[in-house]
Amino acid sequence: MMMKKKGSRVVAALALAGVLFSIQGMTAFAGTVGVGAAKSEMTGPGMTNSQSAGPVTEVQVGERAEEQVAGGQEASQAQDGREQAQQPAAAQSQEPAQLQEPLQVFYSAFLFGQGWSSVTPDNSPCAAPPTTWVTAMKANLVNIPGGNQVGIRYQVNLSGSGWLDWAYDGAEIGNPAGEMPLEAIRMELTGNQAASYDLYYKVLQNGSWTEWAVNGGTAGVEAAGLRVDGIRASVTAKGAGAPPETAAAYAIDPARPMIALTFDDGPRAAVTSRILDSLQANGGRATFFMVGSNVNANGSVIQRMAAQGCEVANHTHDHKYISKLNADGIVSQIVSTNQKIAAQCGISPVIMRPPGGYVDADSLAVLQTLGMPAIMWSIDTRDWQHRNAQKTIDTVLSQVKDGDIILMHDIYTTTADAAEVLIPALTARGYQLVTVSELAASRGGMAPGHKYSQFR
């Protein structure tokens, strides 16, 4: 009976937070959330213990200065970093969320045996690894101009079932629970402003991308035994023609070693931008676990993360230990952060990292309700403690192995110094620098309500 009551409270909190809603025919909230069922790794977070009472916490790592050792130099330095990461309220009110960015479509695919892909931005390939294929999809519009009524709907031909009914604005379509692939798709815009735009899309089929289909046409060949292995879509102004061809898809080779660089506590523009520069120069991606209270002041940096294919992720709104919160508190901390991030870049995070690595059975149960796994780490650089770039570099290069999740913090200048050395060095060693969700997808996937520290 107690578990039943707890579950009811979680659902009620979710509903109150505005998570459980949809408006057919109109995009109500940008971003999609979904993590497929997969084998869980129930090992520990890979943290170093300084005392028997528990793991060294990331709060001791300077993520929240007010929780540092009182009076210490580390506390004052961390507070300085936190203050530099924030901007005045007036600046926050002028964030890019209010700019008239072009209308775009974001989408994700369910990959058989692995789960939902990361949300893919407009005109970017969402492609399955060689060992799997697409069984379902979902799509949203972002940057809808104020006062405009425009939505999106999409239809799939599911092998063995034919064309399914249209789905609208973020709803999934296909069969995530089955193994039958999609064979073709159709997409079109809806609403009284749809005539102002063209919607282009194509699929990866039989080893190559099809030609663009547009405004309800069919992309892919149905009833020929060919499966869909990827999706790409883009919105353009009416009559502007097909979107530009992009560089080759960011291909992940599951046979090659790969690691996930992760950065907590940001963004801090001066630091995060340098890390993004290095990733862009070396063809890598990373995952940024953001504190919700930092989001509004750093919208342009978050938009750049998404544009580069990095993963936007959740680190709670106020860096709270979720194991010390009740269900309502956990929901509030996570949902408010997801909403802020989605408002900036159109992508709602699908993974979170518990501050300090503190997570227990009760908090994992709430995360399962929210559809999110808890991501820990296998290499702790302790960059927060020593603030020494060379020590961070040496720690990573001496310990790194295929499948590692590496913990750093993008609020320290010395971390950016280290990242600018590590990113090309790791690439030169043959490691693919991928996001956590990409690493998981290549190594069996992950499931909501479970924790992961590595993917071997």
Q: Please provide the DSSP assignment of 63-127 as one string.
A: SSGGGSPTT-HHHHHHHHHHHHH---HHHHTT-GGGS-PPPEEEEEEEETTTEEPPPBPTT--EE
Residue 202 tokens, joined: 């194509």
Range scoring the smallest mean pLDDT among 111-120, 300-309, 369-378, 385-394: 111-120
Does pTM top 0.75 for this prediction? no
Write down the pLDDT at residue 132: 86
Position 63 pLDDT exceeds 50 = no
pLDDT in tens, 197-231: 999 999 999 888 999 999 999 999 999 999 999 99
User: Cα 107 to the chain's mean position, in Å?
Assistant: 12
Cβ(351)–Cβ(373) below 8 Å: yes
Position 335 pLDDT exceeds 60 = yes
Range scoring the smallest mean pLDDT among 69-83, 205-219, 386-400: 69-83
Cβ(342)–Cβ(426) below 8 Å: no
Write down the pLDDT at residue 118: 74
Residue 275 tokens, joined: 């890390």
Other C-beta atoms lying within 10 Å of the C-beta of residue 155: 17
Position 106 pLDDT exceeds 60 = yes
Residue 178 tokens, joined: 């089955």
pLDDT in tens, 234-276: 999 999 999 887 644 456 788 899 999 999 999 999 999 999 9
* Residue of 345, 124, 102, 119 lying closest to 235 (CA atoms): 102
User: Which residues carry out catalysis?
Assistant: 264, 409
Neighbouring-strand partners of residue 134: 111
Q: To the nearest 10°, the Cα dihedral for 194, 32, 249, 38? A: -150
Instruction: Say what percent of the chain tops pLDDT 70.
Output: 77
Residue 143: φ, ψ to 5°: 60, 40
Residue at token pair 């801090």: 268
Instruction: Say what percent of the chain tops pLDDT 90.
Output: 61
What span, in angstroms and rounded, lies between the C-alpha atoms of 274 and 62? Answer: 20
Write down the pLDDT at residue 95: 40
For 241, which DSSP code? -
Instruction: Report residue 3's pLDDT band, with 50, 70 and 90 as the boundaries.
Output: very low
Cβ(346)–Cβ(307) below 8 Å: no
Give the N- to C-terminal CA distance of the chain in Å, as an integer.
39
Average pLDDT, the chain: 81
User: Strand, coil or helix: what is 450?
Assistant: coil
Cβ neighbours of residue 20 closer than 8 Å, sequence gap 6 or more: 11, 14
Position 318 pLDDT exceeds 90 = yes
What span, in angstroms and rounded, lies between the C-alpha atoms of 65 and 67? Answer: 5
Residue 146: φ, ψ to 5°: -55, 135
Instruction: Report residue 147's pLDDT band, with 50, 70 and 90 as the boundaries.
Output: confident
